């Protein structure tokens, strides 16, 4: 069965600082988005009388997302990301990635800013590399 690949150009990362109601704002200056992979641990359930190892699946770990950002300290969504990184209260942000395919597929997840790394280099734009630890499931809407 054929499939229709789509370009990543036009993909949009948005964030909401509240869970109810969700109020997403586009994050300007995102250079790209990468997921670190999702994993599911295994639980060993091998009995002494078994002749081969047996396992059952554990809960999925939805991993992390990272994105380089052309950083503007005065931009409100950039400020919200930094505020979340600085927070020690366990607060979460709510993210939405909207792809630029014909159906505008999207996926949503919650998480916290785990890493905030700035770079200022001669001849380059100010950047910040951000890592978000996903907490809970990722919902995909085709």
The string of pLDDT tens digits covering residues 9-66 is 889 999 999 999 999 999 999 999 999 889 999 999 999 999 999 999 999 999 999 9
Beta strands in the chain (DSSP E): 12-16, 25-26, 34-35, 39-44, 55-61, 64-70, 93-98, 106-119, 127-141
Residue 5 — very low, low, confident or very high, per pLDDT cuts 50/70/90? Answer: confident
Per-residue pLDDT of 22-38, as tens digits, reads 999 999 999 999 998 89
What domains can you pick out in the chain, each with its CATH number? Answer: 12-141 (4.10.410)
H or E stretch at 83: helix 76-86
pLDDT score, position 3:
78
Whole-number pLDDT of residue 142: 85
Q: What is the DSSP letter of 9?
A: T
**What pLDDT shows up at residue 12?**
95
What's the predicted TM-score (pTM) here? 0.89
């Amino acid at each position: 069965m054929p499939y229709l690949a789509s370009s990543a150009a036009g993909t949009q990362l948005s964030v909401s600082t509240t869970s109810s109601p969700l109020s997403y704002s586009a994050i300007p200056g995102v250079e790209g988005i990468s997921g670190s992979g999702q994993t599911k641990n295994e639980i060993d359930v091998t009995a002494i009388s078994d002749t081969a190892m047996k396992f059952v699946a554990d809960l999925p770990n939805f991993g992390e997302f990272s994105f380089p950002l052309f950083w503007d300290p005065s931009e409100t969504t950039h400020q919200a990301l930094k505020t979340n990184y600085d927070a020690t209260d366990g607060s979460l942000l709510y993210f939405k990635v909207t792809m630029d395919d014909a159906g505008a597929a999207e996926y949503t997840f919650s998480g916290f800013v785990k890493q905030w790394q700035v770079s200022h280099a001669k001849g380059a734009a100010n950047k910040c590399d951000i890592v978000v630890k996903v907490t809970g499931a990722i919902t995909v809407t085709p």
